[in-house]
Amino acid sequence: MATQAADKPALKTEGTAPDAVVVRFAGDSGDGMQLTGGQFTLSTALAGNDLATFPDFPAEIRAPQGTLFGVSAFQINFGSREINTAGDAPDVLVAMNPAALKVNLDALKPGGLIIADTGEFTKRNLDKAKYDSNPLEDGSLAKWDLLAFDISALTIEAVKDFGLGNKDALRSKNMWTLGLALWMFDRDRQPIIDWLKSKFRNKPEIADANIAALNAGHAYGETAELSGPLRQVQVAPLPAEPGLYRTITGAEAVSLGLVAGAQLAGLPMFFGGYPITPASAILHHLARLKEFGVTTFQAEDEIAAICSAIGASYAGQLGVTSSSGPGIALKGEAMGLAVMTELPLVIVNSQRGGPSTGLPTKTEQSDLYQAVYGRNGDAPIPVISASSPGDVFECAIEACRIAVEYMTPVMLLTDGYIANAAEPWKVPDPDSFAPFKVEFLTEKNNGDQLLPYKRDENGKRPWIKPGTPGLMHRIGGIEKQEGTGNIDYSPENHQAMTDARKDKIDGISVPDQQVTVGNDSGKLLVVGWGSTFGPIRRAVSNCRARGLDVSHTHFRHIWPLPANSGELLRRFDKVLVPEMNTGQFKTVLRDQLLVDAQPYTKTSGQPFKIAELEAAIEEALK
């Protein structure tokens, strides 16, 4: 897809069709906004638009109904051009209750459209949302277009023939709303109808009620168009290369990438996990892939999860575990064990706001220090970072490759945004990935003597399956004697083994760092890592379109850094590092490359906005 100069959608209700639109569905956490957004995403992908989504939901499993902290939202940016982010400001806000309106109103662009359910704007719900008066009636929404009507009553009317009580009938309200959105953007209802029939195949009356609500919302669009601000908007499909496409979330992509990596290594995969937001979905997806030699194990705690994966690697499988910040902290000692035993292990860290329990459902990049430095002793491990939901697939394969080729644990960093967001993904050709088949040691490697820590040109020791005749060896967490693996506390041996483990990681071969957008030298280089890719890319492109001398590079390999990193960064007068923490990668760059990298940080639990980054770039260039 070609790079575009802007990512600032504007909804136009007449005249020239917009090339991109941002829609946000918001309601109570029980209103089904994530489901509504997910199905609208499906219809948008089938319509051929590029897209990016941002699910944003509360940490509470079921917050009190109608409260501000119980609001759940789903934002989608879709268009006929390349889409890099979920968008800065919605063009359309669908607010299912007063709390949803209050929490999300400030984000809506001036002149945007509010669609509100008047049936929920009762005195009780207005009080819960801390409104002194009804905003639908007091003129406070004058700078936006407002379409307010009783979605609740219309839903009840639409499903009355199915004998449902009001409470059950209102569960179809999200489908009514989805029907209206499908009409508004000229989307086909049939895929949603097919999905409803499949989902409720054992309860056909529920399926029929939801389909009736969907159709009623769609039909209402034509009526509302006659006298209100609502218009049907055409967003043309984006021309794309031929191939098989699907929408994919980061959690799905990492799961598929791990399976692909294990297949390329010629190994069965064992996944030991423990439920934690936002990493839990990886276990759910992998559990459905047993036919690819995947064994999944939900352990009793985080420590058992990683230790079981280490045990699987010792036995000759590819051990994998995943968690988020607090769980990664619990896994720290076992990571040191994997470093000491020099066994392959992939650790997926889906970062969230911290510290401690922190912000379980919000995104952050604050585990980088933990990933690079967070173990006792000198225990270096490679760290890889994914930049988007689709990019996680290749990153997971790369993590598997490094783990088996260098006999080391590897940490793969994603975050809450990547894990939950979705984007179109062209399914790659399996033959385009080079295999890295594993060879186990089957006979003694030093004449008639076995040296389990004899290293090859990469510093890697051999992988020995337990029970291989004649290859019994000692393994564990106490320092090993160089070569033999026997316990050795001597100062000289510990120095040699510490150096050997460090040199192995430092010597890992990774691709040179490239400039993603802009020139290879100049006044300002914006350095990113992780999920900041989309906003940085768009902000830099926008600034370059205005003539500013700025470029963008994005790091996948965090540790070790690509060999040319220092030389690349020193070609620019200034280096700016936006990240969703207090400046952690900035510190790594200063430490390792001796460059005066400057931080631009954010820890709100929300992704960067393009406008924020454009302002930071302009300030840095003054």
Tell me the per-residue pLDDT of 120-134, one tens digit each, with 9 for 90 and over.
999 999 999 999 999
Q: Burial, 347: exposed, middle or buried (Cβ in 10 Å; 0-12, 13-18, 19+)?
A: buried
Residue among 90, 140, 99 nearest 117 (CA): 99
Residue pair 62/49 in contact (Cβ under 8 Å)? The answer is no
Q: What is the pLDDT of residue 15?
A: 52
Averaged over 420-426, what is the pLDDT? 94
C-beta atoms surrounding 163 within 10 Å? 10
Whole-prediction pTM value? 0.93
Residue among 422, 414, 387, 386 nearest 52 (CA): 422
Tell me the per-residue pLDDT of 362-421, one tens digit each, with 9 for 90 and over.
999 999 999 999 999 999 999 999 999 999 999 999 999 999 999 999 999 999 999 999
Q: Name the pLDDT band for 227 (thresholds 50, 70, 90).
A: low
Q: Is the pLDDT of residue 226 over 80?
A: no
Q: What is the pLDDT of residue 163?
A: 84
Residue pair 264/436 in contact (Cβ under 8 Å)? The answer is yes
Comparison of pLDDT for 14 and 270, the residue scoring more = 270
Residue 278: is the preceding peptide bond cis (ω within 30°)?
Answer: yes
Q: What is the pLDDT of residue 1?
A: 32
Q: Name the pLDDT band for 165 (thresholds 50, 70, 90).
A: confident
The number of CA neighbours under 13 Å toward the Cβ of 285 is 19
Q: Is the pLDDT of residue 5 over 50?
A: no
The mean-pLDDT minimum among 17-26, 457-466, 561-570 falls in 17-26
Task: For 443-462, give one letter per residue: b (16+ CB within 10 A) or e.
Answer: eeeeeeebbbbbbeeebbbb
Q: Is the pLDDT of residue 61 over 80?
A: no
Q: Name the pLDDT band for 191 (thresholds 50, 70, 90).
A: very high
Q: Is the pLDDT of residue 454 over 70?
A: yes
Q: Name the pLDDT band for 230 (thresholds 50, 70, 90).
A: low
Averaged over 231-240, what is the pLDDT? 87
Averaged over 183-198, what is the pLDDT? 94
Q: Is the pLDDT of residue 2 over 60?
A: no
Q: What is the pLDDT of residue 229?
A: 61
Averaged over 96-102, what is the pLDDT? 96
Averaged over 580-604, what is the pLDDT? 97
Residue among 252, 372, 262, 381 nearest 312 (CA): 262
CA 513 – CA 590 distance, rounded (Å): 17
Q: Is the pLDDT of residue 183 over 90?
A: yes
Domains of the chain: 15-225 (3.40.920.10), 246-432 (3.40.50.970), 515-621 (3.40.50.920)
